[in-house]
Amino acid sequence: MGKPMSIGIIGGSGWLGRAIAEAIIDAQIVAAEYLTLSRRSGQQGILPNATWTRDNQELADRSDVIIVSVRPHDWPAIEISASGKLVISVMAGITLDRLARRLKTDRVVRTLPNAAAEVRNSYTPWIGTQGVTDDDREVVRRIFEACGAADEVKTEADIDYLTGLTGSGPAFPALLAAAMMDDAIRRGMNPDIARRSVSALLVGTGKLLEARADNPIDIVQTFLDYRGTTAAAIEAMRAAGFEAAVADGLASALQKSVTMGQAT
């Protein structure tokens, strides 16, 4: 029987790195003993059975699969040789070509999970270099399906666009939730009730969209056809520029993804 696969996560104490590490262990992809995590100040008080290090090259040497989970502007400080190994980046904007050249491997995958990985509900698009094998693809699928849902996309342009649409995605419903809660509280609603009602609304909507085959546009149209309170609210939001604001936000995220990668 061969040696179990080992995985290293550079930036393992960050929000996303920690979520991926915990998902990997919960899904029994590897045991904690075969997980190496790096952070700037040494061992973290989480995942005590994993190996913690401040030396990213040590992490690379110990690992068959290396996940780079740092902020893009911290990327220039990552200096390792991962020759012949599978490297998975979760950084926005850093291209496959730059990753392969800098990390000295032709087996590179670029992914963009989101913060909902913490509750195993991330959506992760990903794409790999020509050097990525079928076995590598299976590893990528297992890791990111443990975090939620995942799809292999055709181009890096798809990843750049999805950086805003799904990578930033949890922030957008949270922004809507904050606006709805603030309005309720301004009108005298108890803050705890405002929070519970809005949270239940968004969670329930997500489950409804997941369960039904309808396009969201069809669901919106159904409410419009009733010509009741919901229709009045939708029409007022549209008149205020709701859809244009969403499109402008996604365009800004796309532009930031491209320029952020160029600047590092």
Does residue 28 sit in the same domain as residue 148?
yes
CATH number for 30: 3.40.50.720
Please report the pLDDT score of residue 195 as a whole number. 95
Instruction: Using the 3D structure, point to which of 89, 122, 154 is the last residue of a domain.
Output: 154
Biggest distance spanned by C-alpha atoms of the chain: 66
β-strands 86-89, 65-68 pairing: parallel
Instruction: Using the 3D structure, point to which of 125, 154, 183 is the last residue of a domain.
Output: 154
- How far is residue 105's CA from residue 107's CA, in Å, rounded to a whole number? 6
Q: For the chain, what is the domain count?
A: 2
Please report the pLDDT score of residue 168 as a whole number. 82
The answer to whether 96 and 110 are in contact (CB under 8 A) is: yes
Does residue 53 sit in the same domain as residue 24?
yes
Judge if pTM exceeds 0.95: no
* Domain coverage including residue 44: 7-154
Please report the pLDDT score of residue 112 as a whole number. 93
Q: CB count, 10 Å around CB of 1?
A: 3
Angle at CA 92, nearest 5°, toward 251 and 155? 75
Does residue 235 sit in the same domain as residue 210?
yes
Please report the pLDDT score of residue 141 as a whole number. 97
- Tens digit of pLDDT per residue, the chain (264 long)? 567 899 999 999 888 999 999 999 999 999 999 999 998 765 566 888 999 999 999 999 999 999 999 998 888 888 899 999 999 999 999 999 999 999 999 999 999 999 889 999 999 999 999 999 999 999 999 999 999 999 999 999 999 999 888 888 788 999 999 999 999 999 999 999 999 999 999 999 988 888 888 888 988 999 999 899 999 999 999 999 999 999 999 999 888 888 876 766
Task: Supply the DSSP string of 189-202, one letter for each residue.
Answer: --HHHHHHHHHHHH
Does residue 117 sit in the same domain as residue 200?
no
Please report the pLDDT score of residue 42 as a whole number. 54
Please report the pLDDT score of residue 98 as a whole number. 93
